[in-house]
Amino acid sequence: MPPSLKVLVYDGWTNVPVPIFRKQSDSPKQRVSKKDAAAKAAKTKATKKASKSATPVVDADAEYPQDFPEWVNSYDVVIVTYRVLASELAVALPARERPRRQDVVYANVDRPRSPLVICEWSRVVMDEVQMVGGGKTEDMVSLIPRNASFLRVDDVVGSSRLWNRLMLPAYAAHFTAFIQQYAVRTVKASVKDELTIPQQTRYVVPVEMGRVERHVYDEALDRILFELGLDSRGVAASEGWELDSSLLRTSIRRLRAICTHPQVGQLQRQLGDKVVKAPLKSMEQVLESMRDQNWKNTMDDRKSKILLLTRQAQLVQQLAGDPKRERKSLAVLEQALQAAESMQSDIVSVLDEHRKKGDELKKAYTDAQSEDEVDESDAEAGPGKGKQRADSPSTEVSDDSDEAGVPKTPDGDAYKNKLRALKTRLRECRIVLHKVHFLLGDINHVLNQNEAESQAYAKADELRRTLLKTTETEARKAMEVLRKNEETQEIDDDDVPVIEVPYLEKGGVLTHALMKEANELIEEVINEQTELLWQWRTHIKEILMKSFRAEEDADGGEYQRSLDEQGEVETYLQAYTHLLADKREAMTNERTLLAAHDAKEAKQRKTKAAQQAIGAADDDRDDEEDEEILDQRDVIDLLPEHEVLQKTLSDERKTLYASMQGRSIKSIMTDIHAQGAKLPEKKPEKQICRDAVAQLRVLMKEQKELAHNLDADLAHMRRAFNQRVMYFRQLQEISDSVGAVEWEGMLDDALTSTDNELVQLDARINTNVARQRYLEHLGKKGEEDEDEDEEACILCRCEFVRGFITPCAHIYCEGCMKLWISKPEGKTCPVCRVPINPKSLQRFTVDDKKAPPPAQPSKNGEAAPQTRRRIEYNTIDPGTYKDIQAVECEGDYGHKIQTLIRHLLYIQLSDEGAKSIVFSAWADSLFILQNAMRENGIPCLRIDQADAANKFRTDPTMQVLLLHGERENAGLNVTCASRVFLLESVVHHGFEIQAIARIDRMGQTRSTEVYCYYAEDTIEKNILDLAAKRGLSLYTKANALGTVNVSFAGGDAPTSPRKKSKNKKDMKNQKGDYIMKTDDMLAILFPHMFEDLEYLLPEEAMASVHETMEGEQEARGLPGGSGSGGSGTQQVNAVAGPSRLRE
């Protein structure tokens, strides 16, 4: 803006510093600015007035020197954002007319109006209209009154009827000619000779994906094609197929994200109002995660296969008409045994390898601790620092016996989590192995093979003991602690600690009744409660101290018997807990916090039983107790006999509680003390009162210590009880695993279904084994001890670039494997003769040399067509690219981001002080970029940081500005930068042009460069090609130089005319860098489907077609020529669908 103009930035009607109307009474609703409201609130707080509102009291008839129209008229220009305009629509629309009753006075009928619609403006100018995004802004702008309306020419048109007709599509040419006569449109192309913008050059930077990224991309592509129901040619895999456009759009965005980094879209997730950030992984960590997940899937499938084999063996044994059914069943079980032992061996190997990593972590932690101790001894430590360091979380280690010494760091936590998962998987494997041995013992018993039977049962028993060893040890420890607790806490089962009565003397005249009441309470309540406690405690311990009946042999009913004991012990434990609370209340008239909490929670229950119990109770105390019991019933699911026991124990306890009559030893002691305080010192009864109070205090102290010991004893009893239940639960789990087989329908159908599942599992296991081999190969690539033979084909002994790995882990080059598969004997591995399935072969690349993209086979083996079209892009100079790749950088963020970091570091060396802006379509990729730049010492800013744009312009040390390609590609003037980096090829070319225009504009003094990165052999390359075919590409050699023409974005529309959607919802959905047209999405995923035929046929075939066409033209006397394969006609592209199925 020129300095002479006075500019106002309008921030909404709620922030106007002057009244909208001259009189507040004329205003529909009083408003004050946030600044005035905050000042008033601070003043109110400082003076401590009684008013609770920060809104000032305004006189309704007060006159103000200015209202909004007068005040805004003092400015020349008012600037407002589209966001503010959209939020103002609600107060800009007039109030709706509503039916009103007569003779009724309504309050707050009027509503506030936007100041923008109460003034008449000279003109309204909308800049960067493509950033509007929704209909609210358009509607708001239409409501603003203005003098100059560029499309309102009533004097020329004559009437609104003619004007409306002129805007019909049939009169589009007349409308254009009419507008051109009265309007002037100036674009950069028309004044390019007058502009002084320096030269701009645009380049594409092809980046080959790394091995890990390529594997992630290929797996995602295969999964997407499967979900879409298409093969690699775009042909439907089933009849009745219909394309899911939304799934296709989401899938393409997922593939585009993987091209940048495998974690894009997974780092930041919205959970409610919070954004949860996942840890950023290096490519090595991504590969490790892929290996772990594939290994888990393989182990799950192997376990499922073993279980299916045992089921098959049990089903075969049910074939009554087959005399050899036992032998067949034995053969299947031996196969299952071999698979289970192999699986156990593999898990143990992985577990041992993982423990070695734990040893390395412990050693590194110990070494770090030793260095810290040396540093601490050499340096002067401040007061308390040593203790603070010892107590800090980073120095804590786990107390678990198998995890002792592992530091509580992220790496240590990851190690422990994986260790526990591996132990759990080993336990599951051993349960399956136990089942196999147990069934082998059964089948050998039927076959009268006594020695084999004994061996099988012995191994099953050994496995059972191994599986139960941990829980059995814990249960025995708990029982031993319970036994030791009796000795250390001086709690004797045979000696009940009752109180001798009478405990107090008879007392004097005034205190005789109180003394008698205390003695009766001790004798009739407290002693009775103590005896009952000891009786119940003895019974509970008898059950808990029983030896494990399943130690010698298991009959399958152990867990049910333990459930019966659990119900009985749990019933006693509940009553015992409540009786302890009753005794405490008899002494101090207080209940424990736990008992009070249980009662409170019971009150909040909403079950019908609890509500009926509350409504039927007469006594508040009884309500609480009944509710506690009802609450526990739902938890333990008591048997009928245990419910009877619970009612008996509860009645016995409540009888004693009712005898208290609301009195306690503490309340009696208080009364005695009060009576003694009234007596004069000379009265002998005063001393009697003092002695009684002292005796009762001693009693309360002794009973408090006893209650504390009983509480500790109760905790040990509960722990022992829980450990026993855990032991029998695991024992029952093992017993249930060897139960009889069950099936639905016919036995033959069940066998057939099992066989089919086994075939599918075998195929899946073979595929996962090959994939695991490939993932391990990716991890070993580049290591010094790598086997050189792996780079040579086993058959031809030649080095190769692309090859296959079989499920048996043998490696072949692509040519040899394809030739072998085509032969009749090609159904097995050429080396070990293991059966192979062409679908289970895993393709891989053995080095990083550039290789042509492989032709992906379709479902029926036919490869997808490859185009011969070659588009000449203005690619970055190979020498410069080689120099960029030679720059050293830190971190492992994937090939594309690593190349960009090297490029920025290269610019630091070659053009010191140069600034760059980087655009990406993903928030996660900006986060990854920011971390990568910080690690490599590249100063950078994100635009969402405070005052980022101004700081980037003014701070000479700030070199990179990170912007979101969809949300932040317009509205910024960053001519201080001379380079633009687009991290992805852009779909919406309007975004691309706006992004480039941030530096390619008036005020730029340096030559500018634009670099568009794309991953080779991916859909990013297809996106660039699609733009080039439509003449929209900015990076072809014909369009790579010069200032970008903003009108260039108009070519985004398809070449074929389409009816424009008038639905505002559809227009709103088109926000962002999305591909909305189905044909465009298919053209990106399957470019050959929309390619001209002349580029799909081989050159020899096209030459033959040309000769045939020329001959026919000469025979007909038509003018011939060496055309371009039918240049006069337009090829009709094929459409994906069932019509292209091959029978």
- Position 826 scores a pLDDT of 67
Q: How many CA atoms within 13 Å lie on the side-chain side of 550?
A: 25
Domain boundaries defined on the chain? 7-149, 200-210+267-279+869-1090, 282-376+395-448+742-781, 493-737, 1093-1140
Structure token digits, residue 38: 């905050």
- Cβ pair 447, 326 in contact under 8 A: yes
Task: Give the Cα separation of 637 and 642 in Å (integer).
Answer: 10
Q: Supply φ then ψ for residue 159, to 5 degrees.
A: -155, 160
Q: How many CA atoms within 13 Å lie on the side-chain side of 996?
A: 27
Q: Name the strand (E) or helix (H) holding 176.
A: helix 172-182
Dihedral, 1097, 1101, 1105, 1110 alpha carbons, nearest 10: 130
DSSP 151: T
- Cβ pair 962, 918 in contact under 8 A: yes
Dihedral class, residue 186 (left if φ above 0, else alpha if ψ from -120 to 50, else beta): beta
- Position 122 scores a pLDDT of 84
Architecture of domain 200-210+267-279+869-1090: 3-Layer(aba) Sandwich (3.40)
Q: For the chain, report the end-to-end CA distance as a whole number of angstroms.
A: 71
- Position 372 scores a pLDDT of 58
Q: Supply φ then ψ for residue 964, to 5 degrees.
A: -85, 130
Give 1010's strand partners.
Answer: 202, 980
Q: Supply φ then ψ for residue 863, to 5 degrees.
A: -80, 150
Dihedral, 520, 524, 525, 530 alpha carbons, nearest 10: 120
- Cβ pair 468, 439 in contact under 8 A: no
- Position 845 scores a pLDDT of 63
Residues of the chain where predicted confidence (pLDDT) is lower than 50: 24-35, 37, 40-41, 43-62, 377-399, 550-552, 593-594, 597, 599-611, 613-614, 616-636, 782-786, 848-855, 857-859, 1048-1072, 1120-1143
Structure token digits, residue 435: 């089942």
Asked if residue 502 has a cis previous peptide bond (ω within 30° of 0), the answer is yes
Task: Give the Cα separation of 918 and 979 in Å (integer).
Answer: 9
Task: Give the Cα separation of 461 and 444 in Å (integer).
Answer: 16
> CA 521 → CA 509, 581, 583, 664, 771, distances in Å?
20, 16, 11, 8, 79
Buried b (16+ CB within 10 A) or exposed e, 837-848: eeebbbbbbbee
Structure token digits, residue 813: 């080059």
- Position 825 scores a pLDDT of 67
- Judged by DSSP in three states, 846 sits in coil
Give 981's strand partners.
Answer: 918, 1011
- Cβ pair 472, 346 in contact under 8 A: no
- Position 542 scores a pLDDT of 85
